[in-house]
Structures are given as structure tokens and as C-alpha cells.
């Protein structure tokens, strides 16, 4: 089948949406499906933020990337772009390029193009909501109530709606979503993010210059990620575990603030900012570390959280939004997002007990297997086929009604 994937976020911008749709597309392409991405055009500056060359991604011979005209849009990544919907071009598509199904990943300009194309061309549209809209109020040019109403309006015009966690549907209001819906996880590359032997862990620690008990955070450095409590907890933790260190992977608008906070807390020797890492390097950082922590209050799943679990390390997360759906007591701890003392206690528990780390790490790695890319690709193949069959059935029924009416 030919699948058109629309997203307002894509390479070189870094984020969970980008990781998940690239992984899904590659898996589907390897199965013989043709994938067309419709995504923003990014400028040289956006590539430079992640030290990447301004060249197109090569995702495989069956995957094409179409760049849409865009303008800069404020966000915590400092890379986001806004697309203006241009549906007219779809009316000129040659039959060979016409998609069988459209999958929209976002609800802004590119997402609106997906809805318009589906409506104009009679193509079924699957819509995935990756975003907890109420967590991003500071980036929106209009009120929160209006934003939530728009998102609900948008997904009620898709033929099928998914989200990576139940929390997304609960926040939107399941009773107000009038379309078939289902929780479908983002794919996790368990071939890259996987546990390693103790000997390999020691080798990686040496190569990465990790000397003490190591805590890792990975993700955007944005206010919605609530990273400050991690630094305050580290300051408390070092009273009990003086050799503890924190590695922060990622980039974003809060980096200057976080570096200043590290200085104020006198944590400079114990905190390292390593920037945004390629997936293979990020996997090695997780494999070499002792515990992953996130106090984010904006997660609709938490790709980095699940990647860290897949690498066999225990996790600590904020008791907020989707994180409680993925962090159970056989793989990590939940703490309140602003409870610095409890976070420091849980970190001390993990860093002080290797058997506990091992048990929770094994639990997390086993749990994440269900989200492996191939399994999620299976689910989407099934859903795409159902959408196509349902659309065909509806068209036949409509034609039959017209025929009967004309008799």
C-alpha cells in the first residue's frame, strides 16, 4: 500500500514524534509499502542546532520526503517550523502517487493539509495525537480552551484516532471523541536500545568517562520538561552519595537557565551537558548509566523513558500525565513532580542497592518488548488495511444507494 504521513515535526528537529514516525516508516518500507512524508522545510540554522549536515534523510528506497514551505515557530527546541496548508497540489497527483491511506501525526499546518487532502480525494485519514496540548500553553498564541476545542475538532474529522497513552484521550475527553479510537504505542527500537552485559557496561563507562554512580536525563531542555527538580535533588543526594553524577542529553531553550542553576547549586563537577546525541550514542549512554530520571509534566508516553527501560536500567518519573501508565513498581519509581526530597530518596535507594537496580532494570527491559518497532508496525498495517477496506465498503454502499434512487 502507499501511505502518506503528515507531520509538523520532522528531521532535523529532535523529539519523540520524529523518532517514532521515522522508525515506523522504515519498518513499513522494509515490508514493501511505499511511504511519502509531507513535512516542513527546515533552514540551515535548524540543522546546525544538532550539528547535522543540511541534507535529506535517507530512510530507504521506498520512502520519499516532500518538504513543505514553512516559517520559524517558537518552541523549546528552537527548531520548530509552521506550515501553511496547501491542499490544491493534491488535486494534481498522478494516480501512481495517490496514497491509499493518510496518517496525520500533528494538528497544525501539515496536519490540516492531511485532513483537506483526505476530504478532497476520498482517502481515509488516521490521526495520532502525540501532544498534551494543555502542557504547552506558553507556546500557543491563543487561549488554552480554544486550543483544546480546536484539537478535539481536528480529531473528530479523522476516520480513526490513536494516541500513545490513555491519558491523551482522558484529557481530550473520550466522550467527546466521536471517532473510533485506540491506544497505539510509539515504536521503540529495541535492536538499538537493549541491555548489555556487565563487562560491556564497564567498558562503556570507561569510554564515556563515567566515574561515579550515574544518573541520566535525555530529552528537550524545555520548561515543560521540569528539569530543575532533578538538579535540586542531586544537590540533596550528594550529601549521601558524594560521587553521584548527572548526564543531561538534549538541547533546548532552557539550557542557559539550567547551566546557571548548576552553578548556583555548586554542581559543576557533577553535571555534564552532552547535547543531542545520535540514537546509537544515546543507547550507549543509557547502557552505561545506573538510573534514568524525568520529572516532565508534559509526557504523552515518554520515548526516552522507554528507550532507557529497554536498555535495562531502572527509571524514576513524575507522577504526571502518561508516566504512571508506564512506570510500575517492578521497573521503577514514581514521585510527585515537585517533591525534591522524595526524588533524592529514591535516587539514593537505587544507587545504594545494585540488586534493586538489576531487578527493576530487568523488569523494564522485559516490559518494553511489547513496544518493539516490528510489533507496532504490525498494528499499523492492520489498522491501515481496515481503514482502506472500510472506505471501499462505504463507497460501494453509497453507489448502491445512488443506483437504487435512480431506478
- In this structure, are 144 and 23 located in the same domain? yes
The answer to whether position 308 is within a domain reads yes
Residues 209 and 355 in one domain: yes
Q: Are residues 366 and 260 in the same domain?
A: yes
* Domain-located, residue 111: yes
Per the structure, the count of domains in the chain is 2
Mean pLDDT by 10 residues, the chain (407 residues): 96 90 96 96 89 88 94 85 74 78 95 93 96 67 78 96 96 89 96 97 97 96 95 98 97 95 97 95 98 96 97 98 97 97 98 97 98 98 96 64 55
> Could you tell me if residue 83 is inside a domain?
yes
On whether both 146 and 224 belong to a single domain, the answer is no
Residue 192 placed within a domain: no
Question: Are residues 174 and 260 both part of a single domain?
Answer: no
Confidence at residue 5, expressed as pLDDT on a 0 to 100 scale: 97
Q: Is 217 inside any structural domain?
A: yes
pLDDT at site 174: 83
392 and 335 in a common domain: no
pLDDT confidence of residue 49: 85
Quote the pLDDT of residue 202. 97
Domain match, 350 and 205 both? yes
On whether both 12 and 146 belong to a single domain, the answer is: yes
Domain identity same for 382 and 362: no
Quote the pTM value: 0.91
Establish if 157 belongs to a structural domain: yes
Do 365 and 388 lie in a common domain?
no
Q: Is 317 domain-assigned?
A: yes
193 in any annotated domain: no
Long-range contacts of 230-234 (CB under 8 A, 24+ apart): 230/293, 230/295, 230/343, 231/258, 231/261, 231/262, 231/265, 231/267, 231/271, 232/265, 232/340, 233/340, 233/341, 233/343, 233/344, 233/347, 234/265, 234/267, 234/270, 234/271, 234/344, 234/347
Predicted pLDDT of residue 88: 58
Q: Which domain holds residue 137?
A: 2-187+372-406
Shared domain for 21 and 135, answered yes or no, is yes
Query: Quick one: pLDDT at residue 92?
Result: 65
| Rounded alpha-carbon distances, angstroms, from residue 162 to 33, 106, 123, 125, 379 | 21, 12, 18, 11, 11
Q: What is the pLDDT of residue 396?
A: 59
CATH code for the domain in which residue 147 is found: 3.40.50.2000
Residues 149 and 230 in one domain: no
Amino acid at each position: 500500500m502507499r501511505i502518506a504521513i503528515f507531520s509538523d515535526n520532522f528531521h532535523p528537529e529532535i523529539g519523540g514524534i520524529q523518532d517514532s514516525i521515522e522508525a515506523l516508516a522504515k519498518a513499513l518500507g522494509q515490508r514493501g509499502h511505499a511511504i511519502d512524508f509531507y513535512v516542513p522545510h527546515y533552514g540551515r540554522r535548524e540543522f546546525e542546532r544538532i550539528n547535522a549536515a543540511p541534507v535529506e534523510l535517507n530512510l530507504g528506497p521506498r520512502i520519499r520526503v516532500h518538504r513543505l514551505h514553512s516559517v520559524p515557530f517558537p518552541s523549546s527546541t528552537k527548531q520548530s517550523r509552521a506550515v501553511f496548508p496547501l491542499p490544491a497540489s493534491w488535486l494534481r497527483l498522478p494516480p501512481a502517487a495517490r496514497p491509499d491511506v493518510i496518517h496525520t501525526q500533528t494538528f497544525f499546518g501539515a496536519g490540516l493539509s492531511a485532513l483537506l487532502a483526505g476530504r478532497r480525494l476520498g482517502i481515509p485519514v488516521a490521526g495520532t495525537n502525540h501532544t498534551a496540548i494543555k502542557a504547552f500553553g506558553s507556546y500557543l498564541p491563543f487561549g488554552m480552551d480554544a486550543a483544546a476545542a480546536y484539537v478535539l475538532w481536528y480529531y473528530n474529522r479523522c476516520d480513526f484516532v490513536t494516541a500513545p497513552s490513555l491519558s491523551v484521550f482522558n484529557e481530550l475527553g473520550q466522550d467527546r471523541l466521536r471517532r473510533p479510537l485506540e491506544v497505539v504505542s510509539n515504536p521503540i527500537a529495541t535492536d538499538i536500545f537493549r541491555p548489555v552485559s556487565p563487562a560491556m557496561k564497564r567498558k562503556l563507562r570507561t569510554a564515556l568517562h563515567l566515574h561515579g554512580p550515574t544518573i541520566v536525563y535525555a530529552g528537550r531542555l524545555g520548561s515543560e520538561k521540569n528539569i530543575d527538580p532533578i538538579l535540586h535533588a542531586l544537590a540533596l543526594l550528594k550529601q549521601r552519595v558524594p560521587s553521584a553524577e548527572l548526564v543531561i542529553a538534549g538541547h533546548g531553550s532552557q539550557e542557559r537557565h539550567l547551566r546557571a542553576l548548576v552553578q548556583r547549586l555548586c554542581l559543576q563537577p557533577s553535571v555534564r551537558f552532552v547535547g543531542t546525541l545520535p540514537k546509537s550514542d544515546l543507547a550507549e549512554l543509557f547502557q552505561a548509566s545506573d538510573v534514568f530520571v524525568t520529572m516532565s509534566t508534559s509526557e504523552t508516553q515518554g520515548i526516552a523513558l522507554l528507550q532507557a527501560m529497554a536498555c535495562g536500567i531502572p527509571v524514576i518519573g513524575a507522577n504526571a500525565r502518561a508516566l504512571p501508565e508506564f512506570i510500575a513498581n517492578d521497573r521503577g519509581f514514581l514521585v510527585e513532580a515537585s517533591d525534591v526530597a522524595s526524588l533524592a530518596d529514591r535516587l539514593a535507594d537505587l544507587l545504594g542497592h545494585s540488586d534493586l537496580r538489576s531487578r527493576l532494570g530487568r523488569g523494564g527491559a522485559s516490559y518494553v518488548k511489547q513496544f518493539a518497532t516490528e510489533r507496532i508496525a504490525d498494528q499499523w498495517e492492520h489498522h491501515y488495511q481496515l481503514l482502506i477496506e472500510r472506505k471501499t465498503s462505504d463507497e460501494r454502499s453509497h453507489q448502491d444507494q445512488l443506483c437504487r434512487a435512480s431506478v
